[in-house]
Amino acid sequence: MPVIAYIGIGSNIGDRKAACRKAVELLAEAGRVVGMSSLYCTEPIGYREQEDFINAVAVVETDLAPGALLDCCSSIENRLGRTRTRHWGPRTIDLDILLYGTRVVNEPGLVIPHPLMARRKFVLAPLAEIAPNVMHPVLQRTAAQMLSELKDTATVMRCGPESEMP
């Protein structure tokens, strides 16, 4: 039975918008992409000496198990040139499983819901745009509630209508 998964997307190297669009195109390998947020221009967190990010959230209806979905996302990252050289550092593409239906997963290398999503404006803004009522299965808060309660003051804004995903 298909599950709705929410995938966070980010890029800050090269043609960031094109990388995000290509990642969404390739996410069709995981299932059917049934929704997509706007693109958001966001300042980096953690390691700040890097270019701003483009972030978005995709909604994928998938038959893949959580581990297989993670493998698919990792494969897409690799094909799009992702290299891991610095924690929270620059990347051509980053795909994170934010939510997988109402499941809670805590395995080596895979934690769902994403453990930092409730504290990240660059995740919650696009998530609340496309699924304001989706519920965090641990915190029992909707995306809209988490965003409104967030203390994060980072700059996160829509990039503009010319950057909407196809």
Instruction: Summarize pLDDT for 75-110 with one digit per residue, the tens.
Output: 999 998 766 666 666 788 999 999 999 999 999 999
Unique residue bearing structure tokens 């698919």: 72
- The domain limits of the chain are 3-160
**Cβ-based neighbour number of residue 48 at 10 Å:** 8
* DSSP code for 117: G
State the pLDDT at residue 52.
Answer: 86
Q: Does domain 3-160 have CATH number 3.30.70.560?
A: yes
The sign one gets for the Cα dihedral 54, 74, 67, 47 is negative
State the pLDDT at residue 160.
Answer: 65
Active site residue ranges: 82, 91, 94, 96
* DSSP code for 127: H
Distances (CA, A) of 160 to 112, 125, 165: 30, 14, 11
Instruction: Summarize pLDDT for 117-162 with one digit per residue, the tens.
Output: 999 999 999 999 999 999 999 999 999 999 999 988 888 999 865 4
State the pLDDT at residue 47.
Answer: 66
Q: Give the containing element (helix H, strand E) for 122.
A: helix 121-130
Q: What is the CA radius of gyration of the chain?
A: 15
Q: If you count them, how many residues does the chain have?
A: 166
State the pLDDT at residue 165.
Answer: 42
Instruction: Summarize pLDDT for 22-79 with one digit per residue, the tens.
Output: 999 999 999 999 999 999 999 887 766 778 889 999 999 999 999 999 999 999 999 9
